[in-house]
Amino acid sequence: QLQLQESGPGLMKPSQTLSLTCTVSGGSISSAGYYWSWIRQHPGKGLEWIGYIYFSGNTHYNPSLKSRVTMSVDTSKNQFSLKVKSVTAADTAVYYCVGGSSGYDVFDSWGQGTLVSVSS
Amino acid sequence: QSALTQPASVSGSPGQSVTISCTGTSGPFGSYILVSWYQQHPGKAPTLILYDDSQRPSGVSNRFSGSKSGSTASLTISGLQAEDEADYYCCSYVASITFPVVFGGGTKLTVL
């Protein structure tokens, strides 16, 4: 059973770069066929897919966020990461790291989520 | 961007069945390849309950079933239980140049 755990700052100021890391346990991040994604949820709102990274480093981002998002993977630490630059209040959300083994659009293992608030 | 439209809320009494729809607004559902469904209880992370339109992951109750017809996918929950009260989201990816993943807006299920 995969377990995922997000880590990162809970409070940020506008224009800063958000950095989150997801630590995967109970399995290898290098497992073939697994896609590692970030999904966020604005307070009281629905889910928004940010993008995914494969263990090889291949990425695919939501076109609406692509200009500000970078994902990376560290197979030696069994971690993958998200950076979002130039954050604004609109980036305030719960950020989930997620694993999927049935395609990049199926999310079967979720972290507990971490709230990131952007405020001056 | 293309969207998946769900009803904001549905309700049902214990033991009844309810169906939640998910309609692809960019055109026929042929633009959306396969649909997955997620359940989210308040303050918790979502969990996968159906994928590939109608497949249940191991451990998910067979009270949850899925189907798709034309531009609409559906999640049916039979034998409603109090624990089914939650938000439900459909999800798919769009067969376009960028192949983004999109979620429906979510449906709040109330068990009366």
pLDDT, tens digit (0-9, with 9 covering 90-100), for B40-84: 999 999 999 999 999 999 999 999 999 998 889 999 999 999 999
pLDDT value of residue B31: 63
Give contacts of A 83-102 with B, CB under 8 A.
96, 102
Structure confidence at residue B40 (pLDDT): 98
Residue A101 tokens read as 């083994």
* Cα nearest neighbour of B102 on chain A: A49
Q: What is the pLDDT of residue B28?
A: 45
Cα torsion angle, B24, B25, B27, B28, sign = positive
A70 phi and psi angles, rounded to 5 deg: -140, 135
Q: CB distance A47–B98 less than 8 Å?
A: no
Distance (Å) from the alpha carbon of A42 to chain B's nearest alpha carbon: 12
Q: Quickly count: other Cβ atoms within 10 Å of residue A90's Cβ.
A: 9
Whether A40 and A22 have beta carbons less than 8 Å apart is answered as no
- Both structure tokens of A30: 């290098």
pLDDT for residue B25: 72
- Rounded distance between C-alpha atoms, residue B37 and residue B55, angstroms: 10
CA of A49 to nearest chain B CA: how many angstroms apart?
6
Residues of B in contact with A106 (CB under 8 A): 36, 48, 51-52, 91
Q: Which residues contact A21 (CB under 8 A, 6 or more apart)?
A: A6, A7, A8, A79, A80, A81, A82
Mean pLDDT of chain B: 90
| Exposure class string for B54-81: b at 16+ Cβ within 10 A, else e | bebbeebeeebbbebeebbbbbebbebe
**pLDDT by 10s per residue, chain A, length 120:** 899 999 999 999 999 999 999 999 999 999 888 999 999 999 999 999 999 999 999 999 999 999 999 999 999 999 999 999 999 999 999 999 999 988 888 999 999 999 999 999
Residue B8 contacts A, CB cutoff 8 Å: no
